[in-house]
C-alpha cells in the first residue's frame, strides 16, 4: 500500500471516528434523559412499546489487586498472570 493510500485511509478513519464520537454523545444524552426520568419516577424498570428499560443498582465484589500486592506481595506474585495484547493508535 502506498503512503498516499495510507494517508487517505487515515483521513477516512479520523472522519468516521469523529462521526462515531458525535453519535455516541447523542446516544449518551438520550440515555441520561431516560435515566433522569426513571429516577424522578423512582422506577428501576419501564416498558415502552416492545422495549423494556432497566436502570438497576448492581453490587459487585472485586479484588483490590493493589491492596493485595502491598499487604501480601508473595501471594500476589503467586497468582498474578501476565497477558499480552497489541494496541493500534493513530496520532
pLDDT in tens, 18-70: 999 999 999 999 999 999 999 999 999 999 999 999 999 999 999 999 999 99
Q: Where are the beta strands (DSSP E) in 16-71?
A: 45-48, 51-54
Is 86 part of a structural domain of the chain?
no
- Which grid cell is 53? 428499560
> What is the value of pTM for the model shown?
0.72
Task: Label residues 14-49 b or e (16+ Cβ within 10 Å = b).
Answer: eeeeeeeeeeeeeeeeeeeeeeeebeeeeeeeeeee
**How many independent structural domains does the chain possess?**
1
CB 54 within 8 A of CB 44: yes
Instruction: Specify the pLDDT at position 65.
Output: 94
Domain that holds residue 47: 3-79
Is 53 part of a structural domain of the chain?
yes
Is 88 part of a structural domain of the chain?
no
Is 66 part of a structural domain of the chain?
yes
pLDDT above 90 for 72: yes
Instruction: Show Cβ contacts of residue 47 under 8 Å, excluding neighbours closer than 6 positions.
Output: 53
Backbone φ/ψ region at 43: left (φ over 0), alpha (ψ -120 to 50), beta: beta
In the numeric block, the cell 453519535 is attached to 23
Amino acid at each position: 500500500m502506498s503512503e498516499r493510500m495510507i494517508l487517505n485511509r487515515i483521513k477516512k478513519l479520523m472522519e468516521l471516528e469523529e462521526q462515531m464520537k458525535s453519535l455516541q454523545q447523542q446516544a449518551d444524552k438520550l440515555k441520561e434523559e431516560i435515566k433522569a426520568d426513571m429516577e424522578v419516577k423512582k422506577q428501576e424498570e419501564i416498558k415502552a412499546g416492545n422495549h423494556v428499560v432497566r436502570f438497576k443498582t448492581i453490587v459487585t465484589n472485586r479484588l483490590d489487586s493493589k491492596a493485595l500486592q502491598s499487604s501480601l506481595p508473595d501471594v500476589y506474585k503467586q497468582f498474578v498472570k501476565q497477558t499480552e495484547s497489541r494496541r493500534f493508535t493513530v496520532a
